[in-house]
Amino acid sequence: MLVTTTWGGKLLVPTSDLSLMPELVARGTYDVPFTAFVREHIQPGNVAIDVGAHIGLFTLLFAYEVWERGHVIAYEANPQNVRLLRDNVAMNYLEDRVEIVPRAVAAERGTATFLAPQRFQMLGSIQPHRETLVVTDDRADVIDRIEVETEPLDAHVGRFERIDLVKIDVEGAEEKVFAGMSGLLESGVVQRVCFELIRVALGDDWEPFARRLKALEAGGWRFATLPDSGIPESADLDRLLDHGRYSQVAMLRAD
């Protein structure tokens, strides 16, 4: 099905999907706060990385915002999604600024099992326990297991003078992604990172991830939540961790 977003991008979406597709068909948008944040903060010439690009909704938004002088790297591990991602980038004539990487982002290079739901397709992940969170008594689904290649974001150390945004949507694999971009964060080029903070999705990775965020805070990063306006609202990290369920947290380099 072809849909048009409120900001002008066109996407082919699978009609079998019950996660992103209904939102786009009914509203023409998804995640209003993050969309507003991107439109407010990403400018022509910027560099953005989309980790967990799915079929390319935010990849396209980034590409429209960075324009010809910018660059977008889109990571997606599910081969079915990668095909639609490539089509959506091509259909919007954005190949000149979008680099598609058909791998999962993790702590190191190698392989992993990607859990790919057939119905709630946005909930795919390399997090091993993810199946118990996707398939419930009230939400029937079938999960395919796909062996995929993995790559750390540290593969991009030294490649860019500035990375304006790293968006992470990996359904509980956040600790693995952060572990694989420690060098990139230490290099000082990353300005903003947006990610989910959901305790139940992280499972056994929750405590290591909480410690990692505390260390980043001690290193000068500050944290915020995103209201519908997209303007970050400063938030205490301890409060965020105590609550343990946010669909979007922004981590911002201190001025």
Backbone angles phi, psi at 128, to 5 degrees: -60, -35
Strands 47-51 and 71-75: what pairing? parallel
With a threshold of 0.95, does the pTM exceed it? yes
Distance CA 255, CA 253 (A): 6
2-253 domain in CATH 2.40.170.20? no
- Domain residue limits, the chain: 2-253
Can you read off the two tokens belonging to residue 167? 């968006």
Can you read off the two tokens belonging to residue 186? 């230490």
| One-letter identity of residue 50 | D
Distance CA 132, CA 137 (A): 10
Task: Look at residues 129, 51, 63 and name the one whose alpha carbon lies nearest to residue 91.
Answer: 63
- Each residue's pLDDT, cut to its tens digit, for the chain (255 residues) gives 999 999 999 999 999 999 999 999 999 999 999 999 999 999 999 999 999 999 999 999 999 999 999 999 999 999 999 999 999 999 999 999 999 999 999 999 999 999 999 999 999 999 987 777 788 888 889 999 999 999 999 999 999 999 999 999 999 999 999 999 999 999 999 999 999 999 999 999 999 999 999 999 999 999 999 999 999 999 999 999 999 999 999 999 986
- For the beta carbon of residue 117, count every other beta carbon within 10 angstroms: 24
